[in-house]
Structure formats: structure tokens, C-alpha cells
Amino acid sequence: MKYIIPGHEPLEIQTIILDLNGTLSVGGVIPEGVKERLGDLKDRGFNLVFFTGNTRGDADELSERLGIQWKLAKTALEKRDLAKEIGSATCATIGNGLIDSELMKEVALGIVTLQAEGVHTQTLLAADIVVPSINDALDLFLDENRLIATLRR
């Protein structure tokens, strides 16, 4: 999807990279409404993937339940490098932990969520947008006016 944002270079997002623990799931639980939003994003043509170190060992189950693929990344540099392989210039990422900080710097758009597991300050400073929840982050792509209003100069 291409976004025309006043005072900003055109922004094209093809892939949304999600962090798993603390972002897509909170305490191992997917918040209500996430699966439906992910389905809507897929219907709009976004490629969705989550990168995780699989700390809880539940990535396969959650991937199947949500209908999106996942890639193993145990370090911040591994997450960054996976984004480069995908084509980071057309990626957005949603995350919260220190492991997401390099990824935030690499992609076209970085979003942090202030959920129960917290946000690392380095990741917060590397992000472009801060929202209270994963649903709010996903809604930025479902209602492009939200994204435009947040990023316009």
C-alpha cells in the first residue's frame, strides 16, 4: 500500500513484521480482535510475518492459529538481517523489546506498543510511532487516515 503523507516522502508498505512476545501476544495470549485485523490486512494485500526467538515455544501454534508465517530470530541483528532479505525499504515493524531496536532502525516505519510487557527505551527512541496496543498498531494500516494524521508534518 502506498501512503501519500503531507510533508513526508511517499511511504510504501508491503510487509508488516510483527514481534511475538510482548507485541502480538501478551503473556502468551493473543489479544481479542488481533486475528480478525490480521485477516483484514491479508485481504488488503499486506504480507504478514512475525519474527521471534520463540521464547515460549508457541510460535508454530500461534502461526497456525493466526494464519501467518514466522521466522526464527534470536538476536536484534538477526531480526534486522531478516528484514533486509525481505526488502526492508517496504516494511513496517511492530515491536516492543530491545531485540526489536535494530529492526526499527532498518525498516521504513517502526511502531512500538505499550502493552503489559513494557517497551525498552532504545526501541522506543528508534520507533516512528508509539501506540497503546497491538490492535491500535494494526488499525493504523486498516484506517490509513490514522497513519497519515500521525505522520504528517
Residue 99 lies in a domain: no
Residue 56 lies in a domain: yes
Closest residue by Cα to residue 48 from 23, 18, 21: 18
Residue 100 lies in a domain: no
Residue 102 lies in a domain: no
Say how many domains are in the chain.
1
User: What is the predicted pLDDT for the residue at 48?
Assistant: 98
User: What is the predicted pLDDT for the residue at 146?
Assistant: 95
The low-confidence residues of the chain, meaning pLDDT below 70, are: none
pTM: 0.95
User: What is the predicted pLDDT for the residue at 26?
Assistant: 87
Residue 67 lies in a domain: yes
User: What is the predicted pLDDT for the residue at 43?
Assistant: 97
Give the SS3 label for residue 40.
Answer: helix
Q: What is the pLDDT of residues 86-114, one digit of tens each?
A: 999 999 999 999 999 999 999 999 999 99
User: What is the predicted pLDDT for the residue at 27?
Assistant: 84
Quote the mean pLDDT of the chain. Answer: 95
**Residue numbers of the domain that contains 139:** 5-18+26-92+107-151
Residue 36 lies in a domain: yes
Q: What is the domain-level CATH number for residue 88?
A: 3.40.50.1000
111: part of which helix (H) or strand (E)?
strand 109-113
Residue 101 lies in a domain: no
Q: Which residues contact 64 (CB under 8 A, 6 or more apart)?
A: none
- What is d(CA 76, CA 53) in angstroms, rounded to the nearest whole number? 10
